[in-house]
Amino acid sequence: MSASQTSPLVSSEVETRPDKGLSTALEANGVRADFPGLFTANGKPWHYLDTAASSQKPQKVIDAMSRALGADYATVHRGVYGRSAQMTLGYEAARRRVADFIGADSEDEVVFVRGATEGINLVAQSWGMANLREGDRIVLSMLEHHSNIVPWQMIAERTGAVIDVCPLTEDGRIDLGALEDILTPRTKIVSLAHVSNVLGSVLDARAAADLAHSVGAKLLLDGCQSAPRMALDMTALGCDFYVFSGHKLYGPTGIGVLWGRKDLLEDMPPWQGGGAMIEKVEFARSTYAPPPQRFEAGTPMITEAIALHAAIDYVAEQGPDRLFAHEAALAKTLREELRTLNSVKLFGPEESAGIVSFAIEGVHPHDLGTILDEEDVAIRAGHHCAQPLMEHLGVPATARASFGLYSDDSDIAALLRGIDRTLKIFA
Ligand code: PMP
């Protein structure tokens, strides 16, 4: 492509252009000012387009975490003194808040884990070891994150179960027609991304659940990319397990959630032993607490849970439905703008969540990322922990711009200016 292929958004006057038909209401509400991480050291706007990897945190979350680590701090569950009792109330209130946010029937279905990765490992090791036998089938899809591949490979090796891979439609969605063909009565679990972290494709979770259940299999949804941008209702989704990470939901690192249907969790053995997960310990044998405590061995992520509560309150204030529409509109605009550039190849479906993967002919995504960094634009470049998907797409890496509730068209304009500069450098 020649440098004269300049996108109409690339001009200095577009920095705050309000005329693109985008929802800028969130920005107008002052959302951006809530996030200290969205500014450079010089106080200039930082165009953070890597929210799918980890989101920036609103001040309310930082304050909640700081209070919990400071004046309010004590451990939970065992203390006989008032501060510990207060912290226990705070920790358990966070569990109830999560249950309410995701439409769980009961807070007993909410297990605090370190993140989505740990949640999937927990299900693979606990439910998997109890339920998978030699020759049973585990179904994954071509677009899964390594976190939703490797734990299943590890358990397949130990149990003799076999992994089947569901292909994608041409535009990069999990092919539910193909899923139907793959399922057999030996399929025991189907584990799929609700929203792809690379392509932004959104799974019809209810249809996937119905298909899985039609052969008696369970459905685990990897909700890492859906929890931060969609209104959730576990009953409506119809899944059996759902996992997400707090740090992608405007909360802190080190905490995530495994939601599991109560009857399933009750039947699952513990996966880690230690304090807090027991009923009674004797040297001859120990008995275990009911879920969710059965799966929370050791001192839990107390301050992280309290900060996650604050993050969920913040997201709920914004309205999760509004977030999806806002980010999807940004993704659509970015796709339209990139399509005007001949050397840009776009991946994924037209209708997607706020995640756009692309490649520029003759420019390695890492070079693009480095040049954009000089322009205070942060994108992701690499395989996005989805190497099988990269192989399927026939590329070693893509560039990925992902939006959050604080993103607006000034971020798109800055990205396009940076791409324009990159094209000039590589011309
Ligand atoms: N699944 C998906 C779809 C993801 O995007 C991610 C994070 N990139 C993960 C799983 C893993 O999340 P975490 O590293 O927070 O456990």
Closest ligand 1 atom, residue 253 Cα? 15
- Exposure string (b/e) for 45-66, b if CB count within 10 Å is 16 or more? bbbbbbbbbebbbbebbbebbe
Closest ligand 1 atom, residue 117 Cα? 16
Rounded CA separation 53/400 (Å) = 10
Closest ligand 1 atom, residue 195 Cα? 3
pLDDT by residue (tens digit) across 11-35? Answer: 333 333 333 444 455 564 579 999 9
SS3 assignment, position 152 = helix
Residue identifier of the C-alpha nearest atom 8 of ligand 1: 53
Answer yes or no: is pLDDT of 70 > 60.
yes
pLDDT of residue 36: 96
Q: What is the mean pLDDT of residues 359-380?
A: 96
More confident residue, 27 or 9: 27
Answer yes or no: is pLDDT of 59 > 90.
yes
Closest ligand 1 atom, residue 147 Cα? 10
Instruction: Show which residues are catalytic.
Output: 385
Q: Which of 121, 143, 147 for mutating ligand 1's site (highest number of atoms within 8 Å of CB)?
A: 147
- Distance (angstroms) between ligand 1 centre and the Cα of 270 equals 23
pLDDT of residue 202: 98
- Distance (angstroms) between ligand 1 centre and the Cα of 98 equals 18
Q: Which of 114, 117, 242 for mutating ligand 1's site (highest number of atoms within 8 Å of CB)?
A: 117
CA atoms within 13 Å, Cβ hemisphere of 100: 11
- Distance (angstroms) between ligand 1 centre and the Cα of 367 equals 24
Structure tokens at 189: 């679990």
SS3 assignment, position 13 = helix
pLDDT by residue (tens digit) across 87-133? Answer: 999 999 999 999 999 999 999 999 999 999 999 999 999 999 999 99
Residue identifier of the C-alpha nearest atom 14 of ligand 1: 117
Position 368 confidence tier, pLDDT thresholds 50, 70, 90: very high
- Distance (angstroms) between ligand 1 centre and the Cα of 412 equals 24
pLDDT of residue 27: 61
- Distance (angstroms) between ligand 1 centre and the Cα of 199 equals 14
pLDDT of residue 9: 38
Q: What is the mean pLDDT of residues 71-87?
A: 93
Structure tokens at 205: 């979770």
- Distance (angstroms) between ligand 1 centre and the Cα of 116 equals 6
pLDDT of residue 78: 76
Q: What's the Cα-to-Cα distance from 217 to each of 118, 282, 286, 291, 335, rounded to whole Å?
A: 22, 37, 31, 22, 37
Closest ligand 1 atom, residue 53 Cα? 8
Structure pTM?
A: 0.94
Residue identifier of the C-alpha nearest atom 7 of ligand 1: 53
Closest ligand 1 atom, residue 52 Cα? 5
pLDDT of residue 26: 55
Q: Which of 385, 400, 402 for mutating ligand 1's site (highest number of atoms within 8 Å of CB)?
A: 385
pLDDT by residue (tens digit) across 259-292? Answer: 999 999 999 999 999 999 999 999 999 999 999 9
- Distance (angstroms) between ligand 1 centre and the Cα of 205 equals 18
Answer yes or no: is pLDDT of 427 > 50.
yes
Q: How far apart are the first and last CA of the chain?
A: 7
SS3 assignment, position 164 = strand
Answer yes or no: is pLDDT of 390 > 70.
yes
Question: Measuring from each residue's beta carbon to the nearest atom of ligand 1, which residues come in under 6 Å?
Answer: 53, 115-117, 145, 147-148, 193, 197, 222, 224-225, 245, 385
Q: What's the mean pLDDT when you consider all of the chain?
A: 93
Q: Which of 114, 224, 398, 402 for mutating ligand 1's site (highest number of atoms within 8 Å of CB)?
A: 224
Rounded CA separation 156/187 (Å) = 13
pLDDT of residue 29: 56
